[in-house]
Structure 1
Amino acid sequence: MTRWSVGMEAEGDRVLTHDEILSLADAVAASGGIATGIGTPRYGAQLVVVASSRDEAVAKARADFVAAARTAQLPEWPVVRVEATSEDEDEDGV
Structure 2
Amino acid sequence: MTREEIVELADAVAAHGGIASGIGTTRYGAQLSVEAGDREAAVERASAVFADAAAKAGLPSWPIADVGVTGEEDDLGFLA
Query: Structure 1 length normalisation: TM-score?
Result: 0.79
Structure 1 stretches lacking a partner, 5+ long: 1-15
Matches within 5 A, 1:6-85: 16-85=1-70
Q: Determine which structure has greater relative contact order: mean sequence separation of CA pairs < 8 Å that are 6+ residues apart, divided by chain length.
A: 1
CA distance in 2 between counterparts of 1:34 and 1:87 reads 20
Indicate the RMSD between aligned Cα atoms, in angstroms: 1.2
Aligned partners of 2:27 and 2:66: how far apart in 1?
10
Deviation at 1:93, TM superposition (A): 7.2
1:87 aligns with 2:62: no
Q: TM-score, normalised by structure 2?
A: 0.92
Aligned length: 79
Long gaps (5+) in structure 2: none
Query: By percentage of residues, which structure has more strand?
Result: 1
Amino-acid identity (%): 54
| CA deviations over 1:8-52 (Å, ceiling 9, x no partner) | xxxxxxxx0111000000000011111111111111111101111
What is the CA–CA distance in structure 2 between the aligned matches of 1:86 and 1:42, rounded to whole Å? 26
Structure with a larger share of its residues in helix: 2
